[in-house]
Structure 1
């Protein structure tokens, strides 16, 4: 849209929705909301490229609520698909907030918890359904709901959906819902998989891109520390978390084992105000940990990338990447947990020798350098154990060979070096 929209009233939302978003503290539409809401209201298919923290959930939920108007029938008339249970829950929380004064029935269904309560939520009919693909298909096959009335399909975090391998389930869903419908697809990045998905189910879409692909929010200060090994990363973490300015912190790690070990270290050495979430944790445990962090009862949350998206917490002071993510777009989503709603945020990344390879790729993706700083003088630099050193070298070899098949590798000379020539003994 060419004109700047100063208020939600200019977007022609009804009075009930305006009252709800006003009570939620929304003052002025964000750029994605300004651009997407009029197009969605007009019935266009949308391809939305928007990074996390830009207000995209409201951008598609508000016009959807306008379209649904009031409770009608028993089966869902709109479907929002999300890649993770955390994101499905977050979207549902926002729907509850925006629909406070509307007579619209809504629920969310997702894996990782029992089906009994979720099935019961359909008892009085549903207008809007938020779901992860697997649980949607499970309950559909059990005839909990029908799909013939679905007139709007929204796929959120499409890039994550593709990373997690949901394409087969999405194709199944597309086969069982009406062909004639409005389609909205939102993604932080425009990967080849997302383009393929958009070509399969969007018809002449309007593209809404409020920021360059995979860009990071300007309110986030990004810092890089080159840290040689795991033990030194732990020392670095100890140093940073002793600073009270680190008031609400998310620490992202690659593996469940690292998450548990770092949680135990913080709990034992730094503070009891810490929780950990990853795929092996029960659903209720994860939700309770997230709620405790949201409410300010917990200062530090240690998480794998299961929580990198769909974790909507205001005033996160710092994000620490203990491990560099291997899916480069996840860097954007991780650090997007801070610096939300125009607040300042700080993102700190630890990188060992092998991870610097990924840092270069991430910098290329986000179109900027991550400022490198020297390790503080009072942080003890530990000697890298031989096994960890070998693991890093092998990883670097593997990555460089992927880029250059002719690359021989750090171990090449050792493996192929001929033994010294022995002189024949004279008889």
Structure 2
């Protein structure tokens, strides 16, 4: 097994690694560090939770060596404020015995506060695209010394529509630089981005794209409706010792609030919620409290969950499935991090069975079905929810079979063919007679 010393990591960084308890490099670190050090462009594909952040940070530290000048020499672009904060914290921990300087900037707070961070001079800048251009346009930030550009979570960058800003950035920073692109999934869009962004890259892939972490035990329950989902979650969370630190993923911020109201009243332990409508301080405080063990249950959407790097998450519960199948991999990657085991539980109603099958195709494995415990009350599905499910199932069948007309279409056609004794358009003279009679009554 290769050691960090054999990878020629700086002594000051080795001291930080030792203090953090990192004994040996992960597979992505072992493969990526020597290649990045060679100076070539790199395309890194690795599951979340495998140590890919340190895989690009460590060779950057080795390249920078020490503090120098005022302008940043390495730029790390990330899609969300939470991930910016997380990468900034990783840098702070790893460089605690080095004088390398850094700043993490993101939207949600006044840009002048971040201007104060970069003004004394920094070596590494971690940024979301919007805030980066805020500082650049206001003359606070110079990018003329950038020698290394990292795009982290490239798939999410594309999903959030940041490609125009990235293209604009490439026109500003020096042409002569090293480019590093990291992603947990590799789809057609990421491939196109790599062709445009990287020059003759070295591809490093420790597992096929969209492969879940091996230490995650995956299962699912078939439930008829949302109310039964809530009953099942309440039942599972009664076991505080097993479900010690839990993230519940919900697809929309409205549903986050609804789930929180029920879970808050019916389960033990502190709970917090995170979604895009929450203020920055609230979201940061929720993550920190969850990391520190003060919060047992965190309920969140996909967008705000990037950047949650907590090593002892016991369970991820998918209250519903994500709109993008690749996000399933990101969700369950929040557990079983840093060589710990974890469990991912998914709850699906009849309209979500189609999406579960598609996810199994993406991850190339079958997910184990579990039986609903007898003590869980199975609720009757409301008429509105059943109609919603049927319409979604109709939509899915149309996607699979273009000639399928749909159950709702058939009903409408049959109704229109019924014979009616009432004329659809009464004769004009009948209307006149009715008007005449009405006038005579007056």
Whether the 8 Å contact between 1:308 and 1:330 is mirrored in structure 2 is no
1:295 corresponds, among 282, 292, 296, to 292
2:401 corresponds, among 399, 404, 417, to 404
Whether the 8 Å contact between 2:82 and 2:305 is mirrored in structure 1 is no
2:255 corresponds, among 252, 255, 258, to 258
Aligned to 1:419: 417
Tell me whether 1:109 sits opposite 2:105 in the alignment. yes
Question: 2:121, 2:88 → 1: CA distance?
Answer: 16
For 1:10, what is the secondary structure of its paired residue?
A: coil
Aligned to 1:155: 151
Question: 1:353, 1:143 → 2: CA distance?
Answer: 54
2:74 corresponds, among 56, 59, 78, to 78
Offset of 1:83 from its aligned partner? 0.5
Question: 1:120, 1:260 → 2: CA distance?
Answer: 35
Aligned to 1:353: 350
Structure 2: segments with no counterpart, 5+ residues = 423-442
When the two structures are superposed, what TM-score results if normalisation uses the length of structure 1? 0.96
Structure 1: segments with no counterpart, 5+ residues = none
User: CA 1:143 to 1:412, structure 2 compared with 1: closer, same or farther past 3 Å?
Assistant: same
Tell me whether 1:338 sits opposite 2:335 in the alignment. yes
Superposition RMSD in Å: 1.4
Aligned to 1:169: 165
Tell me whether 1:239 sits opposite 2:235 in the alignment. yes
Question: 1:180, 1:422 → 2: CA distance?
Answer: 77
For 1:140, what is the secondary structure of its paired residue?
A: helix
Larger mean Cα displacement after TM superposition, 66-75 or 204-213: 66-75
Tell me whether 1:282 sits opposite 2:279 in the alignment. yes
Offset of 1:72 from its aligned partner? 1.4
Aligned to 1:377: 374
Question: 1:141, 1:299 → 2: CA distance?
Answer: 42
Question: 1:55, 1:263 → 2: CA distance?
Answer: 31
Question: 2:301, 2:90 → 1: CA distance?
Answer: 24
Tell me whether 1:196 sits opposite 2:182 in the alignment. no
Tell me whether 1:206 sits opposite 2:202 in the alignment. yes
Whether the 8 Å contact between 1:214 and 1:365 is mirrored in structure 2 is yes
Aligned to 2:437: none
Q: Which protein shows a greater Rg?
A: 2
Question: 2:188, 2:250 → 1: CA distance?
Answer: 26
Aligned to 1:311: 308
Question: 1:326, 1:205 → 2: CA distance?
Answer: 31
Question: 2:9, 2:339 → 1: CA distance?
Answer: 24
Match runs of 1:120-159 below 5 Å: 120-159=116-155
Question: 1:101, 1:246 → 2: CA distance?
Answer: 37
